Structure 1
Amino acid sequence: MHAVATPPAPRDRSRARPQSRATFASVMGELLLTAGVLVLLFIAWQMWIGDLIIGAENNAKGAALSAQWADEEVPAPPLAEDEDGGTVQTLPVLSHPADAEIFANMRIPRFGDDYNVNIAGGTSRERTLDRIGIGLYTQSKMPGEMGNLSLAGHRTTWGKPFNRIDELRLGDAIVVETREGWFTYRFRNLQYVKPSAGDVLLDVPQMPEVPAGDRLITLTACSPLYSLAERIVAYGVFEGFQPRADGPPDALTAGDEAGPSAREAL
């Protein structure tokens, strides 16, 4: 009788399996993948989360400045005699601000009741557009002054104060608030131009030989969204000035739906 044969002992597979080694290519692949994820997260922050936070901060800063001015006593502008022998209120004369010096707030009811963004001198990204919000071109006229009050702002990133500029409707209020009071302009039309079209900033836009005969406002931003290919330009015409002593103008109420949107009017 033969004994049952004993099966051979199993091999120690842990010893037989070759150990994997990280190669330069695999390490670089993982690093690039991680870097790509971080880049996507950064872009999402810049384009969405960061904009929400910065936009809210900009509105809060504007509201704080408005509250500060409301607590100050500002004398009404002096009266002047009109052609009929009556009296009319003169417009305050404002000094041109220094670079990055905040002198006003932008209020556009179409963009929301809480829209309240600081305006400062200059249009550099580092000192004004990225850090403050809206910039006044160097050659610009001041609020209420004869000629063209010309301003620049981001349409994407850094709080994007002019993001909804193409949603303006004919007759919408564009209000510039200063320590002295509120300068109200009414939106007139929209235009798309090349980045080199600096003539939109002239006292009479795109008409260098024509002397200023009206008080205008011009808002400029990049277009289309997330591109530098063009500039979107919104024009408005001066309606009036309301001294701080008289309280906020009725124009600061929510915009009505009377006029077509800027896109519909093109």
Structure 2
Amino acid sequence: MSEPSAPHDAVPEQLPMRPRRRKRSPVSKAIGVFGELLITAGVLVLLFLGWQFSLNGIMLNNQQASEAGSLSQNWAAESPTAAPVPSASAGAEPAGTFLYGEPPAGGSEPGTGDDFAVMYVPRFGSDFKKTIAEGVDPKTVLNNGGAGHYVTTQMPGQVGNFAIAAHRDGWGSPFLKINELQLGDPIYVETQDGWYTYTYRSSEYVTPYGVGVIDAVPQVPDATAADRIITLTSCNPLYIASERIIAYGVLTDWTPRSAGAPAAIAGLVGA
């Protein structure tokens, strides 16, 4: 008895041939390589942004808090302990005068890159405090996470314009919330002499070449200054920086170091 034959379709008559891969043209290869490079670059940019806005930002903010606290502590150790006497006209002083008299003239000019003040802005956060250094060079000053002082402008408390700059995105983002300032918000600037309280008044947007904002009288280059102004400058919009956002305030109070810090920031000073 013969064995049954296999079904007709069990063994193919001929195995199909594997199609040959077409050789890629040089142009196609170049496009492929370029696409891979773009993907790699995109990944690197995302990694950099993640580092810039997370780990690096946290490190810079911690560093700023430590440096600002050290400045305050050093100044406190050098200050007199006797309580100051308020001006005789306290409670009845005319507009433009202060409870403890005229603020100091500003002292000696700091060296480029030197920290000479600490800034507190409650609107930016309950624990916000940043150093202010001389100069606005990004690499040596602003990238340290604090603010920088335009060297051609006045010092804290002086008649004229005390103008400063800081990053809004990246490098600790100290001025991230500059657009959230509201009329009447206090801006405190601490120096070796004491605390200057500026009050926010208004904002404007200018081109990157709008240098008139740091004139002694902002945007009026030939005017004679009569007020004590603070000007905060930063980039806008976020991540694009095609213009600048400017915030203005005016000095409304001055407190010598021997009188103690203003109550609103007393818990932050020297901490």
Answering whether residue 191 of structure 2 is matched by residue 185 of structure 1, we say: no
Following the alignment from structure 1 to structure 2, what is the Cα–Cα distance between the partners of residues 151 and 88?
Answer: 26
Could you tell me which runs of 5 or more consecutive residues in structure 1 were left unpaired when the two chains were aligned: 7-15, 255-266
Answering whether residue 44 of structure 2 is matched by residue 38 of structure 1, we say: yes
Following the alignment from structure 2 to structure 1, what is the Cα–Cα distance between the partners of residues 118 and 81?
Answer: 19
Aligned-partner residue type, residue 261 of structure 2 = P
Q: 2:79 aligns to what?
A: 73
Q: 1:97 aligns to what?
A: 110
When normalised by structure 2's length, the TM-score is 0.76
Task: Quote how far apart the aligned CAs of 1:149 are.
Answer: 0.5
Q: 1:59 aligns to what?
A: 65
Following the alignment from structure 2 to structure 1, what is the Cα–Cα distance between the partners of residues 47 and 117?
Answer: 35
Assess, with a 3 A threshold, how the Cα gap between structure 1 residues 76 and 165 changes in structure 2: closer, same or farther: farther
Assess, with a 3 A threshold, how the Cα gap between structure 1 residues 148 and 37 changes in structure 2: closer, same or farther: same
Following the alignment from structure 1 to structure 2, what is the Cα–Cα distance between the partners of residues 240 and 108?
Answer: 15
Alignment equivalent of 1:142, drawn from 149, 155, 171 = 155
SS of 1:216's equivalent in the other structure is: strand
Task: Quote how far apart the aligned CAs of 1:131 are.
Answer: 1.9
Following the alignment from structure 1 to structure 2, what is the Cα–Cα distance between the partners of residues 76 and 192?
Answer: 45
Q: 1:241 aligns to what?
A: 254
Task: Quote how far apart the aligned CAs of 1:191 are.
Answer: 0.8
Following the alignment from structure 1 to structure 2, what is the Cα–Cα distance between the partners of residues 130 and 238?
Answer: 28
When normalised by structure 1's length, the TM-score is 0.78
1:1-266 mapped onto 2 (5 Å cutoff):
1-2=1-2, 33-74=39-80, 89-93=101-105, 94-252=107-265
Q: Which runs of 4+ in 1 moved over 6 A?
A: 23-29, 75-83
Following the alignment from structure 2 to structure 1, what is the Cα–Cα distance between the partners of residues 69 and 235?
Answer: 26
Say what the alpha-carbon RMSD is for the aligned residues. 3.5
Following the alignment from structure 1 to structure 2, what is the Cα–Cα distance between the partners of residues 48 and 200?
Answer: 32
Could you tell me which runs of 5 or more consecutive residues in structure 2 were left unpaired when the two chains were aligned: 7-16, 94-98
Assess, with a 3 A threshold, how the Cα gap between structure 1 residues 168 and 253 changes in structure 2: closer, same or farther: farther
Identity of aligned residues (%): 43
Deviation per residue, 1:146-204 (Å, 9 max, x gap): 11101011111001111101111111111111122111111011111111111111111
Task: Quote how far apart the aligned CAs of 1:72 are.
Answer: 3.0
Following the alignment from structure 1 to structure 2, what is the Cα–Cα distance between the partners of residues 253 and 75?
Answer: 17
Deviation per residue, 1:114-136 (Å, 9 max, x gap): 11101000000011111251000
Assess, with a 3 A threshold, how the Cα gap between structure 1 residues 217 and 235 changes in structure 2: closer, same or farther: same
Following the alignment from structure 1 to structure 2, what is the Cα–Cα distance between the partners of residues 77 and 240?
Answer: 17
Aligned-partner residue type, residue 238 of structure 1 = L
Following the alignment from structure 2 to structure 1, what is the Cα–Cα distance between the partners of residues 76 and 108?
Answer: 20
Number of residue pairs matched by the alignment: 245
